[in-house]
Amino acid sequence: MPDGHETLLEIEDLSVHYRSTHGDVAAVSGVNLSVRRGEILGIAGESGSGKSTLAVALLRLLRPPGYIAGGSVTFRPKNSPEVDLLNLDERRLRVLRWRSLSYLPQGSMNSMNPVMRVEGQFRDVIEEHSSLSRSQIDAMIPRLLGQVGLEPSVARMYPHELSGGMKQRVLMAISIALEPDLVVADEPTTALDVTIQRVILQSLADLRSAFGVTLVVISHDMGVHAQLVDRVAVMYEGAVVEVGDVRQVFKQPSHEYTRSLIDSIPKIGPVATPAPVGQSEAL
């Protein structure tokens, strides 16, 4: 790469529309965006700006009435040739899911199977997408839980015994179980209280340091981006209006809309932007 960064995912001229009785609505319009291997890229923008539509489209999880109106998404997983995700057949896509591409949808905490212990939820995903044996999987679970700051005993618990923050951390541990190249997390801290949000952000930062996983983190909250990401892309009415190093974007936003998002972060005392989460902050 000319700029010294390896591109893991390249979104080119991506447009996504929703069909409606009043005509088609453009939710994503001509988006160009690269995700560099090993980085944490934030996608910011207010509700309705197209963040989730962009995520589900590039992960090939878009459902009708949504459809891809144009563009390409080139993905370069480790140890395999590059693919255009938008043209990949279902069989090859299935091979990539969890092993190369993981997704934590918005509100996923509420979609855990309520009658299955945490260990069962790990087994379900890992057995389906790898050739690991039951005993190999069971041996992995305590280590994966530890990676997100949870005790091994959590494996025997049911979702109703976990707090929202613990559920989110279990899902994060499952998402990296097969060491994917890319994890896309949609609003991973929304609906959690502020102290728990910081724990989740710390766990995400730790996953990147421990596994070198590339993260795309979608959040309407610029405070999340200030604390976690390396670069941030700002979406407005379906378009990416600005992308850059997060410190630079906060210091000198080039778009008025970005400035209004930054100004909407609640300020406590004289501190204008939250401090980044550390590598191994005590929680």
Ligand X SMILES: Nc1ncnc2c1ncn2[C@@H]1O[C@H](COP(=O)(O)OP(=O)(O)OP(=O)(O)O)[C@@H](O)[C@H]1O
In the complex, least distance from residue 58 CB atom to ligand X, rounded to whole angstroms: 12
CA distance 143 to 220: 32
CB atoms closer than 10 angstroms to residue 61: 14
Q: Out of 53, 102, 147, 214, which residue is the one contacting ligand X (CB under 6 A)?
A: 53
Q: Out of 7, 12, 25, 74, which residue is the one contacting ligand X (CB under 6 A)?
A: 25
Among the candidate windows 50-58, 192-200, 205-213, 221-229, which touches ligand X by CB under 6 A?
50-58
**Closer to ligand X by Cβ: residue 54 or 155:** 54
51 binds ligand X (CB under 6 A): yes
Q: Out of 7, 10, 12, 18, which residue is the one contacting ligand X (CB under 6 A)?
A: 18
Q: Out of 15, 52, 168, 227, which residue is the one contacting ligand X (CB under 6 A)?
A: 52
45 binds ligand X (CB under 6 A): yes
Task: Extract the tokens encoding 279.
Answer: 């590598």
Task: Extract the tokens encoding 164.
Answer: 């929202």
50 binds ligand X (CB under 6 A): yes
Instruction: State the number of binding residues for ligand X (CB under 6 A).
Output: 15
Q: Out of 9, 14, 27, 173, which residue is the one contacting ligand X (CB under 6 A)?
A: 27
